[in-house]
Amino acid sequence: MTRKPTSASGRRPRDVVADTLRERIRTRELRPGTRLPTQRELEAEFSVGRSAVREALAALAQEGLLENVGRGASPTVAEPTHHADAPRSAGVELTDRLHEAFQAEHVTIDAFSLTTETLNNALAWPVRQVMDLQLTPRSVTARVIIPSLGARLALPRLIDDPEDPKPRERLHQIQTTYVNALRNSLGSLSQFGTEVELTVRAVPLTPTHKLYLLNGDEALTGYYQVVKNEDADFHGEQLALYDVLGLTAKLFRSTRGAEARDEQEATFVAESQEFFDSLWTTIAVPFG
């Protein structure tokens, strides 16, 4: 989980920088070994402050896309080192799998997570590809489940005072801002001939894992790691929290289509879908 987005569009300045650089790396406009512009040059290009640039570069380094961040010179684009079947961070894996999912005529996305931050970031590339008419899905149907605004969650919470409501209030603000940004991002596709249906529901549960189901044929799952976050901002106040990491969590991919390795893998995807559907049709209520 991260700080509340502050840009007028519903996206933080660091996300604008990170999303743009991420797309340039994925499309190989920035190739492995290429040195990025200086921080001063990035500040000028994106009209953002130094802290936004530094946070964006740090996020891309965590995803394994940049090397030598924070060592004086400008960072360089990292060489791909993962094997095709190796699990990757959520920010990397979900982006690639969504881009593949958007090749379909009718795209479906089911997501269960603490916030929609990772989903928002991962959709930036395929959404841009639709806008550039490089991807042309006829429809995108997304169902999203996140914790209820009024739920008394186990995480995040203050390290010294588990009953203090401020961490939950902070989370709720982040959730709301990212949900609005998701609606704007997917909604923009209607201008390019794509029918869009997004429904967001909430459940009174604390997610211990994140789940993404794409086109009914593959499941991406990852575990949240509980960490100490002693510099969480909330209306100018610094909070020391037990928080969770989601964007850098490893995602494990399973399929039940032609690529399924065995019956167990295919059954796991089917059970994951049933788990999601069971929440959706029972205790989930409209978010907001």
Q: What pLDDT is attached to residue 9?
A: 45
| pLDDT tens-digit readout, 238-259 | 999 999 988 778 999 999 977 7
DSSP letter (8 states) at residue 71: B
What is each CA distance from 277 to 145, 215, 271, in whole angstroms? 10, 14, 10
Spatial distance between the Cα atoms of 271 and 25, rounded to a whole number of angstroms:
35
The reported pLDDT for the residue numbered 83 is 44
Note whether 13-77 and 88-286 share their fold. Answer: no
pLDDT at residue 51 in the model? 87
Q: Alpha carbon of 45 to those of 21, 37, 74, 137, 241: distances in Å?
A: 12, 10, 15, 32, 34
- Domains of the chain, by residue range, sit at 13-77, 88-286
Q: Are strands 209-214 and 218-223 parallel, antiparallel or unpaired?
A: antiparallel
CATH of 88-286, one of 3.30.70.20, 3.30.870.10, 3.40.50.300, 3.20.20.70: 3.30.870.10
Q: Which two tokens stand for residue 39?
A: 């921080």
Q: What is the pLDDT of residue 58?
A: 83
Q: How many CB atoms lie within 10 A of CB 270?
A: 14
Architecture label for domain 13-77: Orthogonal Bundle (1.10)
CA angle 75, 81, 83 (to 5 degrees): 155
Strand 139-147 and strand 195-203: the pairing is parallel
Report the distance separating Cα 258 and Cα 130, nearest Å: 26
- The whole-number pLDDT of residue 66 equals 87
> What is the distance between the alpha carbons of residues 68 and 58, in angstroms, rounded to a whole number?
10
State residue 82's pLDDT score: 47
Rounded mean pLDDT for each run of 10 residues along the chain, 288 residues in total: 43 82 83 88 91 85 78 77 64 89 97 95 91 94 94 92 93 94 95 97 96 97 93 91 87 87 92 98 95
